[in-house]
Amino acid sequence: MPVLASHRKPRSTRPHSPAVGVTTAAIASVTLLSTQSAQAAPAPPKPTVEEIQKKVDDLYRQAGTATQEYNRAKESTDQQRRKVDRILDDVAKRTDAINESRRALGSYAAAQYRAGAVGPTAALIFADSPQQYFDQTHLMDRLSERQHSAVADYEGKRAEAAKQRAEATKSLESLTESQATLRTSKQNVQRKLAEARTLLARLTAEEKARLAELERKRQAEARRKAEEQAKAEAAAAAKAAAEAERRRQEEAAKEQPEPPATGGTSDSTYAAKAEKALAFARNQIGKPYVWGATGPSSYDCSGLTQAAWKAAGVELPRTTWDQVEAGTRVATADLLPGDLVFFYDDISHVGLYIGGGKMIHAPKPGANVREESIYYMPIYGSVRPA
């Protein structure tokens, strides 16, 4: 008997989809992690102590620049406030004058009203005598002239008061702008100083020791340069003294009086003023640097130089940017005690030269007024202020 063909369909093998899905997801995850690992940027290298020192120095310099901006804004604000006060006082006085003129006009108007209530014929009839009528008429004519004058005076005062009020409004707007600039400058100073403090606070003990060593080397190099200048100044002074003595002897041999000293800022007048400025500056040594301060308990750099020369009777502007224009430019090799030495390309620092390559200055936040080599910072230029 032939074998009958089976009508049942063969069992098919179905793939296990969940297992394949898990495997695919796992592969995708591994691939994604590998891609992310490959694309992740390496951590930036930690800055060296030298780089940190440079960054901190730059932040202090920027804070010095911002301090000068603050000083300029504060000076402008103070000037605007004084101007506004003067204008407002003047407006008040003019208002009083207008009120007085208004009262005078009121009395004239009342007199005119009373006179206008009676006609000329009735006034003549009711007058005690013709002479009384003519006297009253003359008086009213005079009142009319005075009234015209009073009206003109009133209008003039009112126009002037309106002009003053407009000027006051404009000055108040300028004052508001100056105050906004002042706030911005103050915030800039505080932000730069906070950045510097944060950088220094992150240093390890070893890094702080390294930073201190770098500072000692920097100070030593600045002192070396100052000593070189001191030697050069001493040699120049000796040469000048020898030349003066030679001329004195020649004049004595000729039995002629010694010629008077030539004028200029290097004569005794400048030296006397400079000594007063230096004496004041020496008395401030040890007082703290505070940005925006002008004494007497603390100073910033330009506040100290301004106060020192003020003690010598010389008025200097408030900021380094203005002080550098307040005198005669001199070369570093020609510096005399009392001269102002400015630093950095942005002229953000100043010190008072004392001779021998040194100065007295208010250095930076956290430091006190002190003597230091002028070569501690890059020199911009120097000025003889008197």
| Catalytic residue positions, numbered | 301, 349, 361
Residues 6+ apart with CB under 8 A from 171: 80, 83, 84, 87
Contact 228, 373 (CB under 8 A): no
Q: Give, to the nearest 10 degrees, the angle between helix 301-311 and helix 49-116.
A: 60
Residues 6+ apart with CB under 8 A from 309: 273, 277, 315, 316, 385, 386
Q: What is the H or E stretch that residue 351 is in? A: strand 349-355
DSSP of 35-101:
HHHHHSPPPPPPPPHHHHHHHHHHHHHHHHHHHHHHHHHHHHHHHHHHHHHHHHHHHHHHHHHHHHH
Compute the distance between CA of residue 320 and CA of residue 301 in angstroms, rounded to an integer: 8
**Residue 125 structure tokens:** 């009839």
Compute the distance between CA of residue 365 and CA of residue 190 in angstroms, rounded to an integer: 11
Using left for φ > 0, alpha for ψ between -120 and 50, and beta otherwise, residue 232 falls in alpha
